[in-house]
Structure 1
Amino acid sequence: MDSIKAIFRKTLDAAGHFLKYKKHLYIKPLFFIIIAVIIVLISVYVYKNVIHEPEEFITMDFSDNKEEKINYDFSGTTIALDPGHGGEDPGAPSEYGENEDDVVFSIASQLESRLTEAGAEVIMTRKKDETVSLDGRKVDADLFISLHSDAFDDPAISGFTTFYTYPNQEAFGQHLNAALDEHSLLYNRGNQVMEYQVVWQLDYPGVLIELGYLSNEFDDYILNQKDYQDEMVTAIMEGIHSYLNR
């Protein structure tokens, strides 16, 4: 037992001597180790509390963006709403909530109610979770809006876009794009020409709106929030109103 104590004492003395007289050997390495540990701890915190728990840092407050009390009157206007995908085609997958077909159907259903209250005749290209061909989405109306929330290989891609095909559709896209820009939390990717079938098969003003990218965590999260969906409905209502009263 005495020999063990002696060895332990010698070890402590040696350690003390090293720490006291050999600082030049360990101070710099110790400094860099401490900095590395701090960086790792910060990275872990950000990863856990920011990237994978967006609800803790995203506060959706639309109090400054509330819709003005506009007495919309869309009487005599027939508006077709096309919730993209559905049935056998769920569209883009979601990590935080519903897939694309359910997200856009939720927004379209709310928009249908608001438009009907404003006196518009509304045609829904699908009224439930059902498969509808692109040909079957061609309907006769005055205005046509196809709603989507896309996915992309690069998860960093974010933002909303309005698409049209023909010159007689451009102005409608511009008005919707401007209204969405006022209400969306996402980057505005503009009003672009694109030959999507649901739009090019029409001979009247029609637009396809990509509300965001479900492959992006932020877009995915907010598009699955009811308050944000309500805000998108408000934006589209304002865009239609602006276009019809231009």
Structure 2
Amino acid sequence: MNSVRKGADGFVQTFIRFLKNRKPAYLIPLFFILSAVAVISIVYFMFLTVSALAGGGDDEEWTYVAMDFDQEADISFDGETIIIDPGHGGRDPGAPSVSGKTEAEIVYSIALKTAETLEAAGADVEFTRGQDEYASLDDREVQGDLFISLHSDAMNDASITGFTTYYTYEYQREFAETMNTALDGYSKFRNRGTHQSNYQVTWQLDYPAVLIELGYLSNEIDDRLLSDEAYQDLMARAIVEGIHDYLY
């Protein structure tokens, strides 16, 4: 901090000497421009210094926290049949993305991570399609206790971001709202809410079913995070937590 004070004092002295001497008129605007740059630099340096002092103690450590699915081992989903519907697949890649990964790839990866945790807790998990397989909407009518369809959207407007949870019937609404709340606790995107919609994968089922748009692949930030393994782990955890909160 002493160096910052000395720098500030030196600047003030230079400014005073300048005012005492006669200078060409064109140098005055230049001097004030350079002065503004100097002031901003000093303030920025002071901010960095204070931040470093505040966070430089031995008690502060920034570490990467890996997702540990084993910590869900005390949760039991015994007797529950959960259907996971990874959207699109095969000849239908789904929404295009900024990074080049397809919607079908991203949601299938998240589906696998979700299934791993659910099965470890005793659930019977079924997929509506295999990896790189195409399944029609009619083929996705699979009976179970809960149904979760995973998607990621795309729009012409690249600024649009967020996740949305959809349901069709009133008896599906509570499940949709519970899932949306769980996602809100983990997602880094805007919560666009829970909405009623006539997506075939939900209206063709007579039990609790939701369709989740996890983000917008047309948005660079959404796309980058949804393609990231660690963030996919977060989405899988949110889905498992939502199922648990709804059932228990």
TM-score (norm 2): 0.73
Residue 128 of structure 1: how far off its partner (Å): 1.5
CA contact (8 A) 1:97 1:224 kept: no
> Where in structure 2 are the equivalents of 1:112-127 lying within 5 Å?
112-127=115-130
Runs of 4+ residues over 3 Å off in structure 1: 21-24, 61-70
Over alpha carbons, which structure has the higher Rg?
1
Which residue is 2:98 aligned to?
Answer: 95
Question: Is 2:107 the counterpart of 1:108?
Answer: no
SS of the equivalent of 1:115 reads: helix
CA contact (8 A) 2:69 2:117 kept: no
Gaps of 5+ in 2: 1-22, 38-62
How many residue pairs were aligned?
200
Quote the offset at 1:228 in angstroms. Answer: 0.1
Pairing 1:214-225 to 2, within 5 Å after superposition: 214-225=217-228
The gaps in structure 1 that reach 5 residues or longer are 1-20, 39-60
Check conservation: 1:97, 1:221, Cα contact below 8 A. Answer: no
Q: Which amino acid aligns with 1:236?
A: I
User: In the alignment, does 2:196 pair up with 1:193?
Assistant: yes
Percent of pairs identical after alignment? Answer: 53
1:157-208 per-position Cα deviation (integer Å, ceiling 9, x unaligned): 1000110010000111111111110011011011111111101111100000
- Structure 1 residues 22-61: aligned runs within 5 Å: none
- Supply the AA of the counterpart residue of 1:88: R
Structural mapping, 1:167-178, within 5 Å:
167-178=170-181
Find 1:81's aligned residue among 80, 84, 91: 84
Of 205-214 and 118-127, more deviation after overlay is shown by 118-127
- For 1:156, the equivalent position in structure 2 comes to 159
CA distance in 1 between partners of 2:246 and 2:64 (Å)? 24
Are the aligned partners of 2:89 and 2:135 in contact in 1 as well (CA < 8 Å)?
yes
Superposition TM-score, scaled by structure 1 size? 0.74
- Map of 2:19 onto structure 1: none
The 8 Å contact of residues 65 and 183 in structure 1, kept in 2 or not, is answered as no
Q: Spell out, residue by residue over 1:45-73, the C-alpha distance to the aligned partner (whole angstroms, 9 max, x if none).
A: xxxxxxxxxxxxxxxx8759988944111
- Work out the CA distance in 2 between the residues paired with 1:117 and 1:67: 9
After superposition, the CA RMSD in angstroms is: 2.7
- Report the Cα distance in structure 2 between the residues aligned to 1:92 and 1:27, rounded to whole angstroms: 57
